Chains A and B, each alone.
Chain A
Amino acid sequence: MALLELRDVQAGYGSIQILHGVSLHVNAGEVVSVIGPNGAGKSTTFKVIMGFIEHLGGEITFESKSLVGQRPDGVLALGLGYVPQGRVVFATMTVRENLEMGAYLERDKARLAQSMDFVYSLFPRLYERRRQMAGTMSGGEQQMLAMGRALMMRPKMMMLDEPSLGLSPRFVDEVFDKIVDLARGGLTVMLVEQNAARALEISDRGYVLELGRNRFEGSGRSLLDNPEVRTMYLGGALVN
């Protein structure tokens, strides 16, 4: 039984349709990557799951409950965490305040404190920097903070949109290591990545999207080794 399942999902922005029928599933405990060239619909897939954009067709279920028509806070409350692209942290808030924002749906103070301890134990650096303004931290630290914030609701599954984008090589390693740690701890993970090789390397399975449709799927290893997947990024056959 899949934890998250999308069947023939269509979505877009205003009059522009981006997803023309995407189907995928994520089983509990898996790490699944969604890759594909620009404009494939990777981030759009995440946004429609979270209820940020208009759903135009198809079915989305999480633990067999439909997410269609849910608002983002409703999706969060069901146990689906989301780390947006570009390390969107509250720059003028401290690290601690950012983490508190991640638990804004949590009413139980004791549980909030537990979550805070849990996140600090996963990211000791965030504890060290808890009083620092988030905007003054490096890109890699901000990415860790965005991940920690998404974990404050103790989600069953976390979706990460381009976690390595714009990070220096050292932080790229750190971010992928942390994702592997979280997965080993039992968290289900789905990630969208431009750096397909690195994402597939740590993934049980992957989906390759192109122009809003499924193109390839398989184990992380099989997609890594598929020359067709590698070259599709540079476009199809030449007309001439």
Chain B
Amino acid sequence: MPSATGAALEVRGLRKAFGGVQAVDGCTFAVPRGQIAGLIGPNGSGKTTTFNLLTGIVRPDAGEIFFEGANVAGLKPYEIFRRGITRTFQITRVFREMTVFENMLSVTGLAVPDRVARERAEALIAFVNLTHLRREYAGRLSYGQQKLLEFARALMTDPALILLDEPAAGVNRTLLQQLLEHIHRLQAQGKTIVIVEHDMNVIMNHCARIFVMDAGAVIAEGPPAAIQGDERVIDAYFGRRRAAAARD
């Protein structure tokens, strides 16, 4: 059943094991339409695997992913992508030996004429302030600029839901500030954005709602101030003493 709550994305009971490791273990959450949400949690809590499940890179063992009224769990990555979910990666994946502009046009399956795609590419390059580098090889950009390029490329399909995996990692303060402004502009256009990020300043100051994962499941959700004061969340990050851990 599609959600009646107006959520852009609704995940229910998602599970994925790799060998003996239960990476995602009954993950359930709903992201309201048009919000910037944060997905956080300690190392190994299942955040990136969840993104891989949402984008079809990894097939779930169980669970449902409702997007735009349909369960997209188990669909192929390109099918999910064409329905309007896009992502960026922790470590940028741009084509280093293609120019900035060529990278933008490398996105396949655009249901628009070539001329429109080119115009859109130009507009998005301008959106992330890379116009002066449009003919430069992507491999020659700084790491932060490559992140901006990957971000712009992710917007080529005019997606409704944008998943950003550690956008702040390895990016200097100035470029990070730019990236955050772009994210807020997208939100103003009605897009839904989910950010996985370790930089708590980014999460706490830019996300309206935060979902906290631990051991493959969402253990808490709420606005930043509530999350910062939540003992379960603090325990997830700081660990628990042996006696306390043994009591569960």
Contacts and interface: CB of A to CB of B under 8 A. Distances in A.
Interface string B135-155: 000000000000000000000
A20 to B, nearest CB: 14
A235 B242 contact: no
A1 interface: no
Interface residues of B, number: 28
A194 interface: yes
B205 A238 contact: yes
B199 interface: yes
B107 interface: no
Contact of A234 (B43, B234, B239): B234
A39 B199 contact: yes
A201 B203 contact: no
Interface in A163-216: 165-166, 169, 173, 176, 193-199, 201
Nearest to B21: A166
A68 to B, nearest CB: 26
B170 interface: yes
A234 B237 contact: yes
Nearest to B203: A235
Interface string B216-246: 0000000011011000011001111110110
Interface in B163-193: 169-170
A38 interface: yes
Contacts of B239: 193-199
Contacts of A139: 21
Contacts, number: 69
A194 B198 contact: no
Contact of B238 (A16, A176, A230): A230
A233 B241 contact: no
Contacts of A239: 205
B84 interface: no
A165 B44 contact: yes
The binding surface of chain B is classed by DSSP as helix
A37 interface: yes
Given A230-B234, A239-B205, A240-B205, A173 B228 contact: no
Contacts of B201: 235-236
Contacts of B169: 39
A201 B240 CA distance: 10
A224 interface: yes
A173 B238 contact: no
Contacts of B200: 37, 233-236
A229 B244 CA distance: 18
Contacts of B20: 138
Nearest to A240: B205
Contact of B198 (A39, A173, A198, A230): A39
A169 B245 contact: yes
B133 interface: no
Chain A CB within 10 Å, residue with most, of B169, B200, B225, B241: B200
Given A16-B170, A235-B203, A238-B224, A173 B242 contact: yes
Contacts of A173: 242
Contact of B234 (A16, A138, A231): A231
A231 B44 contact: no
A234 B204 contact: yes
Given A194-B239, A234-B234, A38 B205 contact: no
B241 A235 contact: no
B42 interface: yes
A194 B42 contact: yes
B146 to A, nearest CB: 13
A166 B18 CA distance: 12
A37 B198 contact: yes
A238 B38 CA distance: 15
A221 to B, nearest CB: 11
Contacts of B242: 173, 176, 198, 201
A226 B20 CA distance: 36
8 contacts: A38-B198, A139-B21, A166-B21, A169-B245, A173-B242, A193-B239, A194-B239, A198-B242
Given A173-B242, A231-B234, 11 more contacts: A37-B200, A39-B169, A39-B199, A165-B44, A166-B21, A195-B239, A201-B242, A233-B238, A234-B234, A235-B203, A238-B224
Interface of B: 20-21, 42-44, 169-170, 198-201, 203-205, 224-225, 227-228, 233-234, 237-242, 244-245
Which 9 A/B pairs are nearest by Cβ-Cβ distance? A235-B200, A195-B239, A197-B239, A233-B237, A38-B198, A239-B205, A234-B228, A235-B204, A196-B238
